[in-house]
Amino acid sequence: MTDNVNSPKKWEADYERKTDGWDLGGPTPVFKRLATSGQFPPGRMIVLGAGRGHDAREFARHGFEVTAVDFAAHAAEEMRRLADPSAPVRIMQSDLFALPQEFRHSFDYVLEYTCFCAIDPGRRSEYADLVAQLLKPEGTYIDLAFPLDGRAGGPPFAVRESEVLDLFGKRGFKLIAREKPDESIRVRRHAEELFIFQKGVGGQVRR
């Protein structure tokens, strides 16, 4: 057994031990609101660290063409088990940092929740580059940042609002909106914030 967050074995072990506390058992409440709001026209979306796919299926039910990616075989198997034939989702078991070249600049939306906080903090700049590479020019990054509580250790590793703004601002992303969702579950209230960014037309990856 391993605690190396860069290995799928760590996440497989969490599923086996039922220590998968990131899973809400259904769609994230604020994402349910966004999916039905009409604010975002349906398009191609990739969900990073999709887990059991609750959020992926929610957006698929509202006309989005969704690809759901997770590192763990158990998560991919669960997504297949829970699949909704009326809301098909493309399911991929893959390391986020080893996605196929065909994905470059091919998505209108990247959706993230409890993925950024799970990766090795030393790879966060690499993660921001990945988001920039996945999105089309003027594509949208929807990020529910968690946990904003300054905790030590992890995962989940603490996230700072200023870090999120800096990482994506340096890559030419424009902040469109931010909010502390009223719908956050009680134990995460005040520890998460929704950021919505638009990728610049140039789409340059900056290091």
Tell me, yes or no, whether 204 lies in a domain: no
Closest C-alpha among 44, 171, 196 to residue 106? 44
Tell me the C-alpha to C-alpha distance, in Å, between residue 89 and each of 54, 65, 140, 190. 11, 7, 19, 31
Tell me, yes or no, whether 1 lies in a domain: no
Tell me, yes or no, whether 54 lies in a domain: yes
Residues 147-178: tens digit of each pLDDT: 888 888 777 899 999 999 999 999 999 999 99
Residue 132 φ/ψ, nearest 5 degrees: -60, -35
Tell me, yes or no, whether 15 lies in a domain: yes
Tell me, yes or no, whether 50 lies in a domain: yes
Tell me, yes or no, whether 203 lies in a domain: no
Structural domains counted in the chain: 1
Tell me, yes or no, whether 3 lies in a domain: no
Domain span holding position 62: 8-20+28-198
* CATH number reported for the structural domain that contains residue 89 in this entry: 3.40.50.150
Tell me, yes or no, whether 70 lies in a domain: yes
The model's pTM is 0.88
Q: Between 132 and 72, whose confidence is greater?
A: 132
Residue 186 confidence class, pLDDT cut points 50, 70, 90: confident
